[in-house]
Amino acid sequence: MLQPITVRFEPDGIDVSAEAPALVSVLAHDAGLPLHLPCAGKGTCGKCSVTVLSGSVADPTEAELEALSAEDLARGVRLACQTHVTGDAVIEVPPETRVIGTKSLNGDLVRSVALEPNVQQIPVTLEKPKLEDQRSDFDRLAEALEPVVPKIYACPPALQRLPASLREGDFDVVAGVVGKRLVDIHSGTRQPPTLGIAVDIGTTTIVCYVVDLLTGKQLGTVAAYNEQGRHGADVISRIEYCNNNDGGLEELRGLVLDTINGAIGGALKQCDARPQDVYEVTVVGNTVMNHLFMGLDPRYVALAPYVPVSSRAQELRPVDAGIEMHPRGNVYCLPIMAGFVGADTVGVILATDMLRRDHPVLAVDIGTNGELALWTGEKLMVTSCAAGPAFEGAQIEHGMRAAPGAIERIAAVNGGIEIKTIDDVDAIGICGSGLFDAMAVVLDLGVVDASGRFVNGDLPEEMPEDVRERIVGEGNDRRFIFSDLNGDRPVCLCQRDVRELQLAKGAVRAAIELLLKYSDLEPDDLGEVLLAGAFGNYIDPRSALRMGMLPDVPLERIKGVGNAAGAGALLALSSMQERATAEKLAAEAEHIELSRRPDFQTAFMETMMFP
Amino acid sequence: MLQPITVRFEPDGIDVSAEAPALVSVLAHDAGLPLHLPCAGKGTCGKCSVTVLSGSVADPTEAELEALSAEDLARGVRLACQTHVTGDAVIEVPPETRVIGTKSLNGDLVRSVALEPNVQQIPVTLEKPKLEDQRSDFDRLAEALEPVVPKIYACPPALQRLPASLREGDFDVVAGVVGKRLVDIHSGTRQPPTLGIAVDIGTTTIVCYVVDLLTGKQLGTVAAYNEQGRHGADVISRIEYCNNNDGGLEELRGLVLDTINGAIGGALKQCDARPQDVYEVTVVGNTVMNHLFMGLDPRYVALAPYVPVSSRAQELRPVDAGIEMHPRGNVYCLPIMAGFVGADTVGVILATDMLRRDHPVLAVDIGTNGELALWTGEKLMVTSCAAGPAFEGAQIEHGMRAAPGAIERIAAVNGGIEIKTIDDVDAIGICGSGLFDAMAVVLDLGVVDASGRFVNGDLPEEMPEDVRERIVGEGNDRRFIFSDLNGDRPVCLCQRDVRELQLAKGAVRAAIELLLKYSDLEPDDLGEVLLAGAFGNYIDPRSALRMGMLPDVPLERIKGVGNAAGAGALLALSSMQERATAEKLAAEAEHIELSRRPDFQTAFMETMMFP
């Protein structure tokens, strides 16, 4: 007979109502505390241990008797995937059992990793000093923490507070530890608020994700316009600003820091927290953003042979990084892979977990610059290509950023044209996703041929009237109107726009072709094609295929993966194992420099054509 | 036939004139560059390698052919102890072959260690980037330095300067490295001035020793009065000042930093150097000085169970330490061993090398507090005792610090008394060394008996007239005049003075007796008794024996070892191996807490008596 019960999860203090008997892992999920279940609930991996603090639960299963020691069982340790609650109970979920997922960033590719951050708040009860035990305060603490944090060392301010904190708490304290550094000491047994922030520095937009590092819970997200934008929209103009202005580097660095600190401030306000609650910040960005953030001169990134100042992961003190946070916290910049393959791509590779697939996977992140990663099933190859800003609407006659009035979707339906604008207001331009659709439509309708030329002279008779009347102008001034023909301001695609898009998509496709060629793969070998970034979120994969920007793979293999770069920063914040994976993959990736490949130009000539 | 030649030693640029043939090790010694010769010049250890850059030298000896590879020989590498120069020559002495000695601090116990500091200035020529080699600037540098500094990482400012420095020097640079941290990058091949400073923080006096870390040469020494003195002469009154005054700890910390920074400033002026030339500072001091230097509350050191805040070695950034030096340098505080056995005693043990003796050795460092270390031949035991300030002249009627007019030597000669005062001016008081002699004299003359009492009532007939007339007063007011009987101000030793000295020497001797007892040793087993500090420099060992402060060992086994604590700081500055030894010995020492030993009181009752 089912019986109504209440189960409380600690230390969160979340109550869940259910009917007994009920599985702990299911109840935890209902409580908003998804658990790490690597063996999918078979009870074989022993990773989902929780502690039953009080209440009624069923006897241990065979799997539990196998996985847990008698000592653990005696302490109430159980496997969440095996244990049925039979009455009211209080259950503690330790951090290592919790999941930090990228789900909220990305509906498709859920990844769960065990929470294992670089920051810990460790409650510890110390033996009191006596004449027979004259260990120093720090030795006493360090020896108690040795099993959890071997070789701990102390920041001077933590050491300075140590004697008073120990004695105020009667030798019960919470040790705040970042890496192997004791940074804080709180008397008593209560863990202080402990937040982490993942920062994705885009050339245009900066996004900050706030995480509770004790529970793995995402507390908030804030996006802000990168203030550097006032000195150029793309990375090359930012580099030029540094080169041409005394103090330009410092100015751009100050602007990105202003943006980040402002965004963090806003995010903290959302969750009622203070800067000193933030113990760690992880950072991704393209190579130039990464350099400007760290105050490193980016000029050589743009000059052959395109050498960055540093490609390794970098740890900075908050004061050196210029981030307003806990003064003894840590700022971790993910590694980069090359001058134009940045930490953002490392984040994408990490977040999509593509290196664990047994089939080849291609990840494509397109902005002004295209960053590409190919997992062949055995090795990781990365490259970049200058896509130009056309996909972002720059250098396109009616191109614009994704803002109200931008045409974001276009379809040819029953011989007519249907458009959708952002906020459904009158069209005033076309943004990136609209440009892809526009290009697909003019190709499908025969308005533009495979070479990229608008139909010449008289229009073919078989072309529907609805289409014919949208084609205006002659020769190189020919254009196709997408907006309402009765509107005040026609929004068109012109011959020059097509050329720009052709160059951009050709460069991306040529890079993909060469990656495939160098790894002896055919397009059809690609089990997945992952589209990252804003680009991946909004463009219609059918249009990308129709334009020939992507190789010819079945549509269902193409997946948008959202802001995977930011998700990567979040994973590196939540799990030291993920951080190690990021460093390893960045070090092991093979970077293909296309500018020295004689076959790139050849490939480009072909890939500029439309299919 | 002997032939006059000139040999230049690089990179010092020192020329030496000699007659050929001459041995390189001898020439180097003449140039003021003593070399590390562990095998004493037999050519077997291969440690004294130098490089002959140009000039005439004899063919390699058998020993050299054995010790050096063909490749090394081809590059001009030779052993200094084997190679005879036969004409003018230029010879480079690498840092690892140089010696840093404690000779200048201590005439008796010369120790030489190979120069192997934590700071390096490494000249390196890098391959230039090209399209086939797009490694980042830092990867390029780190990989070149990998054999010398594995796992190097960069300070942000060093990274910020890296691209410009590399290109200004056309990829010839000198990498400034502290530990595993790249802190500086200089273009070109010239090593910048690179100094280290060893600081001995005494309760009364602070001494700074300046060393050239590239050559091991000592450049200067400055001593300064510890400005903390205004808040009490001894460690207990400093602790009380912290306890009783808001901000007292910060104030005392500020005062010691002012003293140290002032002394460093003076020392640097002597050798025409700047604060940013100082890359590392090592610090010794007693436990309380160590705590005040680091801003750690010392109050629990003085309260049972006498627990320090931290006893481990500590590394501080200059900004945290408050030292005016290279901002990315390092401040290294040697470890302490207990509440009253500090880093100064670690320094003494290190500098005297006592742990390498195969006979038992006792080291005694006496100030207000006695710190004692006994090497049994197998293990190290340390303890402390409250000697009281009597030995420093405090609480002694005519006691004074060692200053002009202080009686520093007393002898009974032919029935009369001979005294020597500092600067040979009229006596105005007695300093520590004088007190030891005074006590020995009154005991020898029978003026004071074994129980510490002045002769009572009428003086014995057999006492020489010269002595009798120096005894004045009656009963507890009896006293012995040491100064010129015709002088204006008689300088005496009184009954109360004797009692103070008795208590002080009794405590030291009781501690020694217990160390011997716990290690099953007899006094005669002690192969050496080392007296450290100012105390060891000035007191007459015969007087210490006569008073019974030291156990009865042959006089020649008692040795003053000068400022061995400072020498220890210097060794830890010059050699990472010595630094590791210091940490190991501090961790392994067995600390004997006398305050809990019931047998201490018993021993003390006996040792208060005079022999």
Mean pLDDT of B411-425: 90
Look-up of token digits 């690609």: A526
Reduced DSSP (H G I as helix, E B as strand, rest coil) percent helix, strand, coil of chain B, to 5: 35, 30, 35
pLDDT tens column, A397-456: 998 888 889 999 999 988 789 999 988 999 999 998 999 999 999 999 999 999 999 998
Min distance B535 CA to chain A CA atoms (Å): 28
Residue B471's pLDDT band (cuts 50, 70, 90): very high
- Residue B505 in domain: yes
What DSSP string runs through B353-402? TGGG-SS-EEEEEESSEEEEEEE-SS-EEEEEEE--GGGGTTTSTTB--S
Note whether A313 and A402 are same-domain residues.
no
In chain A the first and final C-alpha atoms are separated, in Å, by 65
Candidates A136, A164, A309; nearest CB to B311: A136
Distance of alpha carbon B194 from alpha carbon B211, whole angstroms: 9
Residue B24 pLDDT > 60: yes
Residue A378 pLDDT > 50: yes
Distance of alpha carbon A14 from alpha carbon A10, whole angstroms: 7
CATH number of the CATH domain containing B160: 3.10.20.880
Min distance B98 CA to chain A CA atoms (Å): 33
Task: Show the CA angle centred on residue B383, arms to residues B435 and B113, nearest 5°.
Answer: 90
Distance of alpha carbon A32 from alpha carbon A217, whole angstroms: 9
Distance of alpha carbon B398 from alpha carbon B500, whole angstroms: 13
Residue B172 pLDDT > 80: yes
- Residue B107 in domain: no
Mean pLDDT of A103-126: 73
User: Are A305 and B159 within 8 A, CB to CB?
Assistant: no
What DSSP string runs through A390-454? GGGTTTSTTB--S-TTEEEEEEEETTEEEEEEGGG----EE-HHHHHHHHHHHHHTTSB-TTSPB
Note whether A209 and A314 are same-domain residues.
yes
Note whether B490 and B562 are same-domain residues.
no
- Find all residues with CB under 8 Å of B147, minimum gap 6, and list them: none
- Residue A108 in domain: no
- The burial class, CB within 10 Å (0-12 / 13-18 / 19+), for B482 is buried
What is the predicted pLDDT for the residue at A306? 93
Structure token pair of residue A342: 């940045």
Residue A54: in which H helix or E strand, if any?
Answer: strand A49-57
**Nearest Cα to A121, choosing from A183, A206, A199?**
A183
Mean pLDDT of A522-537: 88
Count the alpha carbons within 13 Å of B398 in the hemisphere toward its beta carbon: 23
Residue B562's pLDDT band (cuts 50, 70, 90): confident
The answer to whether residue A135 neighbours chain B at the CB level (below 8 Å) is yes
User: Are B162 and A131 within 8 A, CB to CB?
Assistant: no
- Residue A109 in domain: no
Sheet bearing B590-592, strands edge to edge:
B558-560, B528-532, B361-366, B369-375, B380-386, B590-592
User: Are A162 and B310 within 8 A, CB to CB?
Assistant: yes
Mean pLDDT of A22-35: 80
Chain A residues close to B312, C-beta within 8 Å: 136, 138-139, 142, 153
**Phi and psi angles of residue A563, each rounded to the nearest 5 degrees, phi first:** -80, 75
Chain B residues close to A138, C-beta within 8 Å: 309-312
Q: Is B53 helix (H, G, I), strand (E, B) or coil?
A: strand
- Residue A456 in domain: yes
**Nearest Cα to B534, choosing from B298, B398, B366, B383?**
B366
**Nearest Cα to B102, choosing from B186, B2, B198, B195?**
B198
**Phi and psi angles of residue A314, each rounded to the nearest 5 degrees, phi first:** -135, 135
How far are the Cα atoms of A235, A427, B128, B164, B587 from residue A402, in angstroms, in the given order?
A: 19, 12, 43, 39, 64
More confident residue, A562 or A333: A333
Note whether A328 and A200 are same-domain residues.
yes
- Residue A83 in domain: yes
**Nearest Cα to B143, choosing from B163, B168, B122, B126?**
B126
The answer to whether residue B477 neighbours chain A at the CB level (below 8 Å) is no
Dihedral sign computed on CA atoms, order B578, B583, B589, B593: positive
What is the predicted pLDDT for the residue at B1? 57
Q: Is B556 helix (H, G, I), strand (E, B) or coil?
A: helix
Note whether A411 and A370 are same-domain residues.
no
Note whether A585 and A525 are same-domain residues.
yes
- Residue B345 in domain: no
Candidates A164, A310, A596; nearest CB to B138: A310
- The burial class, CB within 10 Å (0-12 / 13-18 / 19+), for A603 is buried
* ipTM of predicted complex: 0.84
pLDDT tens column, B279-301: 999 999 999 999 999 999 999 99
Of B187, B220, B239, the position where a domain reaches its end is: B187
Chain B residues close to A139, C-beta within 8 Å: 310-312
Residue A102's pLDDT band (cuts 50, 70, 90): very low
Distance of alpha carbon A275 from alpha carbon A273, whole angstroms: 7
What's the one-letter identity of residue B95? P
User: Are A307 and B595 within 8 A, CB to CB?
Assistant: no
What's the one-letter identity of residue A370? G
Mean pLDDT of A487-513: 93
Q: Are the beta carbons of B594 and B511 closer than 8 angstroms?
A: yes
- Residue B438 in domain: yes
CATH number of the CATH domain containing B358: 3.30.420.40
Chain A residues close to B315, C-beta within 8 Å: 153
Q: Are the beta carbons of A221 and A267 closer than 8 angstroms?
A: yes
Residue B506's pLDDT band (cuts 50, 70, 90): very high
Candidates B134, B136, B297; nearest CB to A309: B136
Give, as one character, the DSSP assignment of residue B483.
Answer: S
Mean pLDDT of A355-369: 89
Neighbours of B137 (CB within 10 A): 27
Distance of alpha carbon A171 from alpha carbon B344, whole angstroms: 30
Candidates A304, A308, A314; nearest CB to B131: A304
Distance of alpha carbon B200 from alpha carbon B263, whole angstroms: 11
CATH number of the CATH domain containing B71: 3.10.20.30
Cross-strand pairs, B154 = B182
Q: Are the beta carbons of A98 and A12 closer than 8 angstroms?
A: no
Into how many domains does chain A fold?
5
Distance of alpha carbon B443 from alpha carbon B426, whole angstroms: 25
pLDDT tens column, A327-346: 999 999 999 999 899 999 99
Of B465, B495, B525, the position where a domain reaches its end is: B495
Note whether B487 and B510 are same-domain residues.
no
Mean pLDDT of B303-329: 96
Distance of alpha carbon A291 from alpha carbon A338, whole angstroms: 12
Note whether A548 and A446 are same-domain residues.
no
Task: Show the CA angle centred on residue A518, arms to residues A517 and A522, nearest 5°.
Answer: 35
Closest residue in A to B130 (Cα) is A305
Residue B482 pLDDT > 90: yes
ω into residue B117 within 30 of 0, thus cis?
Answer: no
Note whether B230 and B322 are same-domain residues.
yes
What is the predicted pLDDT for the residue at B111? 66
Q: Are the beta carbons of B101 and B86 closer than 8 angstroms?
A: no
pLDDT tens column, A261-294: 999 999 999 889 999 999 999 999 999 999 999 9
Mean pLDDT of A451-474: 89
Q: At what angle do helices B564-574 and B343-352 cross, to 10 degrees?
A: 80
Mean pLDDT of the residues in chain B: 90
Mean pLDDT of the residues in chain A: 90
Q: Which of A506-520, B161-175, B225-239, B256-270 has the lowest mean pLDDT?
A: B225-239
Domain, as residue range, for A70: 3-97
Neighbours of B132 (CB within 10 A): 8
Note whether B513 and B491 are same-domain residues.
no
Of A168, A187, A206, the position where a domain reaches its end is: A187
Closest residue in B to A595 (Cα) is B131
**Nearest Cα to A332, choosing from A349, A351, A346?**
A346
Distance of alpha carbon A531 from alpha carbon A555, whole angstroms: 12
Q: Is B211 helix (H, G, I), strand (E, B) or coil?
A: strand
What is the predicted pLDDT for the residue at A99? 60
Give, as one character, the DSSP assignment of residue A592.
Answer: E
Note whether B258 and B204 are same-domain residues.
yes
Note whether A422 and A494 are same-domain residues.
yes
* Cβ–Cβ pairs < 8 A, chains A and B: 137
